[in-house]
Amino acid sequence: MAFAASVYIDEAAAATERWFRPKVIDQVFNSNAVTAILRRNARTLDGGRTIDFPSLYAKGTTEWIGKTDTYSAPFVDQLGAARLDWKINTTPVVLFTADLLMNSSSKHQRINLVMQKNMAAARTMGDEFGNALFTLDYTTTDQIDSLDHAVSDQTGTSDETGFSATYAGVSRTTQSVWRSNIDDTAATLSIGVLNDSWLTASEGSDQPNLIVSNNKAYGLYYDLLTPIQRQGTDDLLGKAGFTSTLFNGKPWVIDSHVASSDRSVGGVSTEYVYMLNTNYIEIVAHRDVFFAFMGVKQPIDQWSVIGRYFFMGNVPCYAPRFQAKLTALTG
C-alpha cells in the first residue's frame, strides 16, 4: 500500500506557497514597529560580496576660483566606502508526519495545522529580527548589524563595547561624522533633555523623524505631556486627550525590542530612547531571499517534514550623524 502521508506533504507545501507565505511576510514586519516602518523603504540587490554604501563626504577644501585664477586644488576623494556583510536568518516550519496523519480525515484540519505552523514561524522570525535590530551585544557577528551599533559615538571604551570603534568598516576615531549623538548622563527625562538630543542630531531641516522606546520610557514621556494636554475636539473631553504621541511633530512609537528595565528586555537597569532619521536607514535584502520559502522536504532519518523561510541582507545606517539616543534614563 502506498504511504499516503506523501500526499499530505505535497498539500502542505502547496498551501504554504499559495496562501500562507504572503501572510507570514506581513506578520514578520508587523511584529515590531521599527521593522515595519523600515520595510516601506526596503531595497533589494542581486548579489555582491558585501553591501556597499557611501560613508561620508569631504569638507573644508576651497575650490572657488575667479576667472583669471589658475585652478590648482588637489584631487579630493569626495566619498568614502562603508561595507556591511550579508547576514542570513532562517526559521524552520516543522510538520510531524504523525500530526498530518492524525488529521487525515479532514483537509480543513490539515490546512489549519499548516497555517498554525507558518504563523508560529512568522512570530519567531519577527522576534529574532527585532531583537537583532536593537541588540546591545555587537559580539554576535552572525546577526544583522544592530541600530544600537550604528547609533554610537564610542571609540572603543566606556559603556559601549570596543566593537563601537568602527561601524561598517569605518573608524569612528578618524571620521567624526561617523559618530552619533549619545546622551548617557541624563537620568531624568524632560522636554529639554529630549530637545538637546534632537538638536544635536539635526542639521537644518534634516531631523530625526521617528522616536522609539520601550513601554516604560514611553510612559515617562506621556507623564511629561499630561499636565499640558489639550483636548482637540469635544468628543475627547473627559478623556486622556491624546490621539497620538508626538515630539516636535514626529511620532514616538513603542517597540518591545528596545532595551529597557521594564520586562527585563535587554537586561539593563535604565531606559533607552532612540531618535532615528529613517531617511538614512533601510532594510537591504537579496532579491531572491527576501523571506523566501524553501520547499518542504523529509529528512531520511526523521518522521517529519521541514520547510524553511530565509532572509538574506542587513540594515545599514548611511548617516549615523543624524541619529541620537538616550541611554541612562531612570525616571
What pLDDT score does 47 carry?
87
Residue 266 pLDDT grade (very low, low, confident, very high; cuts 50, 70, 90): low
What pLDDT score does 221 carry?
92
Query: Is 264 a residue whose pLDDT tops 80?
Result: no
Q: How far apart are CA 151 and CA 305, in angstroms?
A: 41
pLDDT over 90 percentage in the chain: 29
E strand or H helix at 294: strand 284-297
Q: Give the three-class secondary structure for 87.
A: strand
Query: Is 316 a residue whose pLDDT tops 80?
Result: yes
C-alpha cell belonging to residue 133: 535590530
Express each pLDDT in 184-227 by its tens digit. 899 999 999 999 999 999 988 889 999 999 999 999 998 888 77
Q: How far apart are CA 159 and CA 161, in angstroms?
A: 6
What pLDDT score does 1 carry?
37
C-alpha cell belonging to residue 125: 522570525
C-alpha cell belonging to residue 170: 569605518
What does the angle CA 216 – CA 155 – CA 197 come to, to the nearest 5 degrees?
Answer: 40
Q: CB within 8 A of 274, min separation 6: which ones?
A: 147, 148, 151, 211, 212, 213, 258, 323, 324, 325
Phi, psi of 320 (to 5 degrees): -55, -25
Query: Is 17 a residue whose pLDDT tops 80?
Result: no
* Domains defined for the chain, CATH in brackets: 5-54+80-329 (3.90.1690)
Q: How far apart are CA 128 and CA 37, in angstroms?
A: 17
Query: Is 106 a residue whose pLDDT tops 90?
Result: no
CA-only gyration radius of the chain, Å: 24
Express each pLDDT in 287-300 by its tens digit. 998 888 877 776 77
Express each pLDDT in 148-165 by its tens digit. 999 987 655 544 556 778
What rounded mean pLDDT belongs to the chain?
A: 82
